Amino acid sequence: MTALTPNAPSSKKPLLTLSGLAGLSPEAYRDLSPQQWPVLDKNVPVERLYSNGRFSTPDGKANIVPTPYLPPASKTCEDFPLLLNTGRLRDQWHTMTRSGLSPRLSEHSPEPTVAVNPSDASTFNLKEGQLAKVASVQGSVVARLQLNNNVQSGTVFMPIHWSETFSSMGKTCKLIAPAIDPISGQPEFKITPVNIHPMNVASEAMLAVNTAYEDSAIRSDILARLLLCGWTKRHIEGGKLFHLQSPVPKADFVSALTTSLSAKYQQSLQSSINGCTRVVFFSQGELAAAIAVSEGVGQVEGADISSLFSKDDLDVAAFSSGNGSEAGRIVCACKQVGVRTLTKFMEKNPGATLSAMSSETQAGTGCGSCLPELRMLNANA
């Protein structure tokens, strides 16, 4: 389906293709009915593949293709001493065109991340939760740093999911070399020499915008005016949540955000708790937007702002007073259990087993895909 057949006539091109749909207008794309692979020409219907019991090989049989070892085209060097491995996260699929629409699936990994072995982190002066710039010969991206003993020293891992629709700086494929395998056509997604440096950010913000107002509140030209060095966007219940990073101090960032949002909405309930400034904005009595801004990186957490549009006014008061959700980043999406709930349990019950942690918090009692992370939290407690 995907094998390369250079210079082949169109009838012999890879069958995993929708190239016949290239050039569709937005209206035609919107009205497009479900299509059957392949589409080489949108006006020429194709029969269902392989229903005649023959593969698309010259003899109609499945062929075993020898693939002798080829060394990687890319190698580490003094300037790019680490190897980037890329892959997927448990809750997302490809570039999040569908899975990214689910607020619940987006809670587990809300931003692009780069996972680094703790020994490499100390070599390169990197700390958990800060932002890091990862660069290769091809380009650079910015991601939130995670220390992870499961990542082999000398390598870093980044998920592939964030496109420019969801993040201004987290598109991992910008790093990948154009070296492709001669048989499969796959690039060296698992072997890209990179370097990594902490990125200086003066302040960070979370901005939640009600669905009813998001188009007028946050256009890209407004984002550009907000003194940003980067943004990531995700869907939440009833709206969208932006993670914003700025090179200017918190006071200036608060001022830029409130000036922009106050042009549209009535500002109300400004508060400053534990170094985090929170402001909510209303339009005709309805909650339109909210911001939480902190100095430095890693101080603003999304749990109590991401649920603002799914609940009632009591949560606005809780958000403004800093007494919102205590759960922290969601680890178990099925049962909505956050990292703070789990670490608190382990602090209160040192040595507790994974099954005790699960039965008390309910984490891991649904689909089970959070169990590897629960195991790690339990073992590291």
Binding site for ligand FES (CB under 6 A): 332-335, 363-370
Q: How far apart are CA 115 and CA 247, in angstroms?
A: 24
Whether omega for the bond prior to residue 38 falls within 30 degrees of 0, making it cis, is yes
CB of 154 to ligand FES, least distance (A): 31
Which residue number, 300 or 363, has a Cβ lying nearer to ligand FES? 363
CB of 372 to ligand FES, least distance (A): 10
State how far the alpha carbon of 43 is from the alpha carbons of 18, 32, 39, 49, in Å.
12, 13, 9, 17
Which residue number, 332 or 339, has a Cβ lying nearer to ligand FES? 332
End-to-end CA distance of the chain: 47
User: 373, exposed or middle or buried, with CB in 10 Å at 0-12, 13-18, 19+?
Assistant: middle
CB of 348 to ligand FES, least distance (A): 21
In sign, the C-alpha dihedral spanning 87, 93, 97, 101 is negative
| Pair type for strands 155-159 and 82-87 | parallel
Which residue number, 174 or 335, has a Cβ lying nearer to ligand FES? 335
Q: Which amino acid is at 379?
A: A
Which residue number, 295 or 373, has a Cβ lying nearer to ligand FES? 373
CB of 369 to ligand FES, least distance (A): 5
Q: How far apart are CA 260 and CA 24, in angstroms?
A: 36
Q: Are 158 and 221 a contacting pair, CB within 8 Å?
A: no
Which residue number, 167 or 358, has a Cβ lying nearer to ligand FES? 358
| Pair type for strands 286-295 and 276-283 | antiparallel
CB of 353 to ligand FES, least distance (A): 17
Which residue number, 299 or 336, has a Cβ lying nearer to ligand FES? 336
Q: Which among 117, 111, 131 has a CA at the least distance from the CA of 82?
A: 117
CB of 378 to ligand FES, least distance (A): 14
CB of 208 to ligand FES, least distance (A): 23
Q: How far apart are CA 205 and CA 165, in angstroms?
A: 19
Q: Which amino acid is at 323?
A: N
Which residue number, 95 or 369, has a Cβ lying nearer to ligand FES? 369
Which residue number, 249 or 372, has a Cβ lying nearer to ligand FES? 372
Please enumerate in sequence order all residues whose Cβ is within 8 A of that of 58, keeping only pairs 6 or more positions apart, or say none.
none
CB of 114 to ligand FES, least distance (A): 23
State how far the alpha carbon of 58 is from the alpha carbons of 12, 55, 61, 67, 358, in Å.
10, 8, 8, 19, 54
